[in-house]
Amino acid sequence: MKDSNFLKEHNARSMWHPMAHPADSLANPPTIVTGAQGVRITDIDGHEVVDAVGGLWNVNLGFSCAPIKAAIAAQLDRLPYYSTFRGTSNDAVIELSEELRRFFAPDGLTRAFYTSGGSDSVETALRLARQYHKIKGQGQRTKFLSLKKGYHGTHFGGASVNGNANFRTAYEPLLAGCHHIPAPYTYRNPFNESDPAKLAQLCLAALEDEIAFQGANTIAAFIMEPVLGAGGVIPPHETFMPGVREICTRHGILLIADEVITAFGRTGSWSGSRHWGVQPDFMCTAKAITNGYFPFGAVMIAEEVAQAFESDKTGAAAIGHGYTYSGHPVGAAAALACLAETERLNVPENAAARGTQLFQGLQALADKYDIIGDVRGGHGLMCALELVSDRAKKTPIDKKTIGTVQEVAYRAGAMVRVSGPNVIMSPPLILTAEDVQIILSALDQGFAAL
């Protein structure tokens, strides 16, 4: 490893960072993380903090999960790679598929299609949804519906169903036939409705209206996150996702649950769909499936959809989609070990308890600081603060002020993520009560510094 002077001098010089302006990365070089243990990360200057970002919503079991590391090392020794394209498979991925089938049985999901990450999983689900309708003789069902504020990764399909202009405008034109409905976001919405139950009904009515306008028989699927994450942690009312499921079923539209961040315990339930009592037709997973230690994902497929593909005699169900790294044996071995640890530690229970503690602590901060316009959470370890310069007018905060909060909080012991006017928290699910206090105290110091 080069010395720290070299690394600091060359930071951002020869690489472009995702989700950043290259000039900004040069002017404000990123924090160089050089080590991690448990729920803590250490930077190049030896400063250690609680990672309230959890890597990037993925390191659910922390940075020291020995069984996953051992499984990866052993698999690298045994079989570091082989393809799962037609004609070959590997032992690890066969075993994983059976485990995932067991794990997702309560969600009605019985087959897996493997990917290299979240965006791949979204792309896969969108494509298979179109193909399903073609197999069923309804090839005109090609459109996709989704929520404004939703985040579905950055492939062209995912970007097209994304509900945030930041991930769309520079890359337009996007996929034709993608339409968006208002999100159940109580703090800001076109209905000026702050009651979550009423807002859920208004958004469902908007969905019905859009389906009628487009024509139900032109729509392939509706994609949504059970709790919107990257868009600023927006938990819908409990009636919302069941309502979406009912509408989709009635109109023959497939429901894709994008659970890239909610699968495997983050909401306090084993999956976000289960959290709301909904069985989707496809579920996109990635991130915590390997605890972030290996790039890997799985699209889980409902039994009825699987039957349509498997019983096809025309050839229409031949899958012309897949990745070199679909079913990667090292990823599969990592996922097997990760799933076993996730279940052994029963992480949803701790996610729920620590999530409530964090949410309540954030609400107490909002009583203290007017700059906090909205506090969102209450469903496991995913929380956000939306900052405003004027509470009554809900004026979004400027970049510099929120940057100061983040910087002071970091100095005071916690890494938090900033996205637009939101401070987002998605810490590892093995967080302790003391760790939560450290995050809250660091944020308190961040706000007090303004």
Alpha helices in 369-417, H assignment, sequence order: 399-411
Q: Phi and psi of 378, rounded to 5°?
A: 90, 0
Segment holding 48, helix H or strand E: strand 48-51
Closest distance of CB 129 from ligand PLP, Å: 15
Q: Which stretch binds ligand PLP (CB under 6 A): 116-124, 165-173, 388-396, 430-438?
A: 116-124
Closest residue by Cα to residue 29 from 38, 20, 37: 20
User: For residues 153 and 182, which CB has a smaller minimum distance to ligand PLP in the complex?
Assistant: 153
* 248 in Cβ contact with 146 (< 8 Å): no
User: For residues 119 and 269, which CB has a smaller minimum distance to ligand PLP in the complex?
Assistant: 119
Site string for ligand PLP, 237-266 (x = CB under 6 A): ---------------------x-xx-----
Closest distance of CB 323 from ligand PLP, Å: 12
* 425 in Cβ contact with 230 (< 8 Å): no
Tokens matching residue 175: 């996929």
Nearest residue relative to ligand PLP (C-beta): 118
Could you say whether residue 229 binds ligand PLP (CB under 6 A)?
Answer: yes
Could you say whether residue 232 binds ligand PLP (CB under 6 A)?
Answer: no
Helix-then-strand count for the chain, H and E:
15, 16
**Can you tell me which of 51, 107, 225, 444 binds ligand PLP, judged by CB under 6 A?**
225
Could you say whether residue 118 binds ligand PLP (CB under 6 A)?
Answer: yes
Alpha helices in 215-346, H assignment, sequence order: 240-251, 272-275, 303-310, 329-344
User: For residues 295 and 413, which CB has a smaller minimum distance to ligand PLP in the complex?
Assistant: 295
Q: Distance between CA 77 and CA 317 in Å, rounded?
A: 36
Q: Phi and psi of 426, rounded to 5°?
A: -145, 60
Site string for ligand PLP, 130-169 (x = CB under 6 A): ---------------------xxx----------------
User: For residues 229 and 236, which CB has a smaller minimum distance to ligand PLP in the complex?
Assistant: 229
Name the maximum alpha-carbon separation found in the chain.
67
Size of the site for ligand PLP (CB under 6 A): 15
Q: Distance between CA 306 and CA 449 in Å, rounded?
A: 55
Closest distance of CB 328 from ligand PLP, Å: 14
User: For residues 211 and 257, which CB has a smaller minimum distance to ligand PLP in the complex?
Assistant: 257
User: For residues 149 and 245, which CB has a smaller minimum distance to ligand PLP in the complex?
Assistant: 149
Q: Distance between CA 222 and CA 216 in Å, rounded?
A: 11
Could you say whether residue 230 binds ligand PLP (CB under 6 A)?
Answer: yes
User: For residues 57 and 293, which CB has a smaller minimum distance to ligand PLP in the complex?
Assistant: 57
403: Cβ–Cβ under 8 A, 6 or more apart, which residues? 418
205-208-210 Cα angle (round to 5): 110
Residues at the site binding ligand PLP, with contacts judged by CB under 6 A: 57, 117-119, 122, 151-153, 225, 229-230, 258, 260-261, 286
